[in-house]
A and B are shown apart, each in its own frame.
Chain A
Amino acid sequence: MEDVAIKVENLFASYRKNTVLSDVNLAVESGSLTGIVGPNGAGKSTLLKSMLNLHPSLTGSVAFFGQPFKKMKKKIGYVPQRGSVDWDFPTDALDVVTMGLYGHIGWLKRPSRFHKEKAYQALEKMGMKDYAKRQISQLSGGQQQRVFLARALVQDAELYFMDEPLAGVDAATEHAIMTTLKELKTLGKTVMVVHHDLQTVAEYFDHVLLLNQTVIEHGPTNQTFTKDNISRTYGGNMRWMREEDHDVVPSIKQ
């Protein structure tokens, strides 16, 4: 394998007494765009959080370009699940995007015109410039997700972790987000995305990580994302339709 961007070894994680992840081992290629796929409760969110020190792992090690998380913090962008924050918080879209820059601004300083400009450009890139001053609760789900994406973009990170950025968004937002993710990849960034729609996996991601408590299979999508591996991940009760043409079916969800 080429440059390893993320290396996880023997990772275990639990909520109180429930072991959610056991013995996770993986190495993610630098510059790859990986879809993390698995049933509800498989531990996908927990895996992202454990890698980012947001959830204490029991044992195991995580390294980014050979360095521990603490040293690489500033190079990592995280897009949590949309439901993880309070959208009634008194703030507007531009302000939320500016938060992505707080790590660069430093103590006792306020965001400058320059930072606001950068945030504004990221909003513009996500097609949200007309909503910069809109209170965040007045945005649709898709628009909120674009704001989160814009916030990740301003962080100008090397590694991105995104938790279901395409869940519950409209088709236009899905398209805008995928375009952005592919651009990040072109720029050489490493991106891991929790994804819930099996039908678009092959179209969107060059690598796939099949997860259910532990890594079921991980590798290039065309070799890994097979019917067999998928049913091993989901157990028997997977709903899998249009198995042959899954990569040409456009996905329009709501």
Chain B
Amino acid sequence: MPYTGWIILTASLVGLSCGLIGVFLILRRMAMMADAISHTVLLGIVIAFIITREVSGTPMLIGAVLAGLLTTFLVQWLHSLNIEQHASMGIVFTTLFAVGVILISTSVGNAHLDVQHALMGEITFIPWNTMSLPVIGDVPKATALLALAFVIVLSFIVAFYKEWKITSFDPALAASLGIPVVFLHYVFMSLVSITTVASFDSVGAIMVVAMLITPAASAYLWTDKLSIMLVLSSSFGVISAIAGYYTAVWLNTSISGSMAFATGLVFLVSFVFSPKHGLIAKYVKPAL
């Protein structure tokens, strides 16, 4: 596959996974948690690196999931101590992120891991760092990791679709029906972590947050059905990825930045034109 093809495929995978996960972040009113996790997984990556001395797929995923679970647990714990939910998130993620940054600058000292890279990502270099897979052949490592993350996210969402729906809509009912609400919350946060860390390497933390929140928030404006919201959100993610790439090439600017900007444009268009909640619909539709 040509260089451009790999970049677009990689970015599209980010858009797909983030789009799916983002829907539930929005519906569970946990958008802020995306920000928290996108910062704390850094700690997971650093620790995985310190132990294995390499930045590679599986240890990184495991490290990120552990960091994500730790974040979730600490936020819940602080909240149970009478600290407001968003304040708890703020405290936890800034602290864990700081620990990650300190570890990078003191004990890692490796060119592969710097803060700049973690925040902005480096999608341009992805196609050159390949691995060999059976049948498929040479594939960029980051792309393979993202494909794996996408498969995991998609299968969890499909397999537990009705559980995600009910625990997002009415956790009290879910609990009274015997559905393990807290356990599923941790599973969900693990999926957020997996998505985040897999996307991290290619697009960086800022882009991950944009991709997690904005396409889902846009999709929310277009539909009243959860399944359609999922399809729209992931499509918006892919569209933003592709449009962002070509914009970046055209203007010769940062790819991640353009993609994040594209998600913002999608939201703006949705906000103005959506038939149900959009600005124009509000003026055109007679009041009920």
Considering only residues 177-215 of chain B, those with a C-beta below 8 Å from chain A are: 177-179
Residues in A neighbouring B29, C-beta threshold 8 A = 86
Complex Cα spacing A73 to B159, Å: 23
> Are A110 and B162 also in contact (CB < 8 A) when A16-B82, A80-B170, A85-B170 are?
yes
Distance to closest chain A CB from B83 (angstroms):
11
Assess the B172–A53 pair: CB atoms within 8 A: no
Complex Cα spacing A78 to B174, Å: 10
Residues in B neighbouring A90, C-beta threshold 8 A = 27, 220, 223-226, 228-229
> Are A74 and B161 also in contact (CB < 8 A) when A84-B172, A91-B224, A91-B225 are?
no
Residues in B neighbouring A76, C-beta threshold 8 A = 176
Does A96 have its Cβ within 8 Å of any Cβ on chain B? yes
Residues in A neighbouring B177, C-beta threshold 8 A = 73-74, 100, 102-103, 155
Complex Cα spacing A172 to B175, Å: 31
> Are A111 and B162 also in contact (CB < 8 A) when A78-B173, A89-B27, A96-B169 are?
yes
Interface extent on B, as a size class?
Answer: 20 to 34
Complex Cα spacing A137 to B225, Å: 12
Does B124 have its Cβ within 8 Å of any Cβ on chain A? no
Distance to closest chain B CB from A36 (angstroms):
17
Residues in B neighbouring A96, C-beta threshold 8 A = 169
Residues in B neighbouring A78, C-beta threshold 8 A = 172-173, 176
Considering only residues 127-162 of chain B, those with a C-beta below 8 Å from chain A are: 159-162
Assess the A102–B161 pair: CB atoms within 8 A: no
Complex Cα spacing A89 to B27, Å: 7
Assess the B165–A99 pair: CB atoms within 8 A: yes
Residues in B neighbouring A16, C-beta threshold 8 A = 82
Complex Cα spacing A89 to B24, Å: 11
Assess the B170–A54 pair: CB atoms within 8 A: no
Nearest opposing residue in chain A for B174, CB measure = A102
Residues in B neighbouring A63, C-beta threshold 8 A = none
Assess the B161–A99 pair: CB atoms within 8 A: no
Nearest opposing residue in chain B for A111, CB measure = B162
Residues in B neighbouring A53, C-beta threshold 8 A = 175
Residues in A neighbouring B162, C-beta threshold 8 A = 99, 102, 105, 110-111
Residues in A neighbouring B176, C-beta threshold 8 A = 52, 54, 73, 76-78
Distance to closest chain B CB from A55 (angstroms):
10
Residues in A neighbouring B9, C-beta threshold 8 A = none
Considering only residues 157-214 of chain A, those with a C-beta below 8 Å from chain B are: none
> Are A99 and B220 also in contact (CB < 8 A) when A78-B176, A110-B161 are?
no
- New contact pairs (13) apart from A52-B176, A73-B177, A80-B172, CB-CB < 8 Å: A49-B172, A53-B175, A54-B172, A73-B176, A84-B172, A90-B27, A90-B220, A90-B226, A99-B165, A99-B173, A100-B173, A103-B177, A105-B162
Ranked nearest first, the 4 interchain pairs of A and B with the lowest CB-CB distance are: A103-B177, A135-B224, A78-B176, A73-B178
Q: List 21 A-B contacts (CB under 8 A).
A: A49-B172, A52-B176, A54-B176, A73-B176, A74-B177, A74-B178, A76-B176, A78-B172, A80-B173, A85-B170, A86-B29, A89-B27, A91-B165, A91-B169, A99-B165, A99-B170, A102-B163, A107-B160, A111-B162, A135-B224, A137-B224
